[in-house]
Structure 1
Amino acid sequence: MQIDALLKDRQPHVPLLKHLATGALVFSQDDHILLLQRAPDDSMPLKWEIPGGACDLEDETVLHGLARELWEESGLLMTRAIELVARDVFLTRRGNTVEKMTFEAEVQAPSSSERPVVTLDPQEHVQFLWATEEECRLGKAKLGEEEVDINFTTKDQRRVILTGFKHRKERGRQ
């Protein structure tokens, strides 16, 4: 679907959208999800999130925007969007209405048994981890030898991540 069409196509009860954003739920073969920790000088400093961001009008479709954001934030090449997991509308601190579409995304990996190689943009994120469903639920994970608190950017971020795990189980992926 074209981005400008999505911004114009709305339900009467939904305020006029000014922005469209995407999020990528990237799972490893051993069913861990990729989480990125925001840079200390960015908004919501040091909070955890999935890769994603604003769609640009130059993006041909929402999926093109998803692939671009995933590449820019993690260095991962999306091979396909598996499923639309969530579609949320929220207001930014500046009062802009944003619709965020979160997809489970498949990415290129060195082999079917290895996790993809993540390359961060240090201006946006300072570290990453691969977390289990239980770690996301509890808000604590292992990063190397260290246990870290997973403080998500928003409650909705956590909800969408847990929904992604649920959808994978329903499809037979555990």
Structure 2
Amino acid sequence: MEEYSQPLSTYLPNHPSITGGIVVSAVIIHTPPEGAPPRTLIIQRALKDGFPLKWETPGGGVEDFDSSIISAAVREVKEETGLAVDAEQAILGTVGGFTEWEEPKTGLRWRKVTFLVRMTGEELPVVQLEAREHRDYKWVTEEEVEEEGEGKGIGFAYGQLRRGILEGFEKVRKSVQEGLER
């Protein structure tokens, strides 16, 4: 995580293949008290946006004013969902590796980093969407995410997102088990 604790101005010179910038997202998994299944937050893109009406996790671009790549993820989650994330306590690491792509029109190369966030509590957190970017949200179970791979259900914006979410459920499960064993 230390690599992502630095600002964009420090990170990019060490990664010269990244010419466009960094995009961050957050797989947020809520673990309730025993009995109820963990759920992850997905948000539906607006009709007039890229990947219209597809589902994704909160995120966006890292800006020059962000103090670190991690703080950009915290900011984006707050802007898009109204949820406050405590980076030191809630972020468990990254999931899905990172994705790189080249923008066809500009030739700029981008990198996306997805952070895993764990939230706890009796109730699911209240989400307040940024209406210009997203039109709906759902808290879904691991089983619902798995069904997507069978051609049913959610309709994610891209396939790697599903794999990252499933990895997130596994990491949270291990984190909870390790916490119980101590």
Q: Shared fold (TM-score greater than 0.5)?
A: yes
CA distance in 1, matches of 2:18, 2:8: 14
* Kept in 2: contact 1:88–1:99 (CA 8 A): yes
State the 1:149 CA deviation.
3.0
Q: Which residue in the other structure is 2:167 paired with?
A: 163
Cα distance change on mapping 1:93 and 1:122 into 2, 3 Å: farther
CA distance in 1, matches of 2:169, 2:8: 27
Q: Pick from 17, 20, 33 the counterpart of residue 18 of structure 1.
A: 20
Q: Pick from 72, 77, 84 the counterpart of residue 94 of structure 2.
A: 84
State the 1:139 CA deviation.
2.0
Cα-to-partner distance string for 1:42-75 (whole Å, 9 max, x where unaligned): 1100000000111101101011101110011101
* Kept in 1: contact 2:31–2:118 (CA 8 A): no
State the 1:165 CA deviation.
1.3
Q: Which residue in the other structure is 2:156 paired with?
A: 152
Gaps of 5+ in 2: 1-5, 33-37, 178-182
Give, as a single letter, the amino acid of the residue that structure 1 aligns with 2:148.
G
Gaps of 5+ in 1: 141-147
Matches within 5 A, 1:1-174: 1-10=6-15, 15-30=17-32, 31-80=38-87, 81-85=91-95, 86-94=97-105, 95-106=107-118, 112-139=121-148, 149-172=153-176
Cα distance change on mapping 1:46 and 1:93 into 2, 3 Å: farther
The structure richer in helix per residue is 2
* Kept in 1: contact 2:41–2:57 (CA 8 A): yes
State the 1:93 CA deviation.
4.6
Q: What's the TM-score once normalised by structure 2's chain length? A: 0.80
Give, as a single letter, the amino acid of the residue that structure 1 aligns with 2:70.
L
Give, as a single letter, the amino acid of the residue that structure 1 aligns with 2:159.
K
Cα-to-partner distance string for 1:25-46 (whole Å, 9 max, x where unaligned): 1111241000000000111000
* Kept in 2: contact 1:7–1:18 (CA 8 A): no
Give the RMSD, CA atoms, in angstroms: 2.0
- Following TM superposition, the consecutive aligned residue runs of length 4 or more in structure 1 with deviations greater than 6 angstroms are none
CA distance in 1, matches of 2:147, 2:44: 17
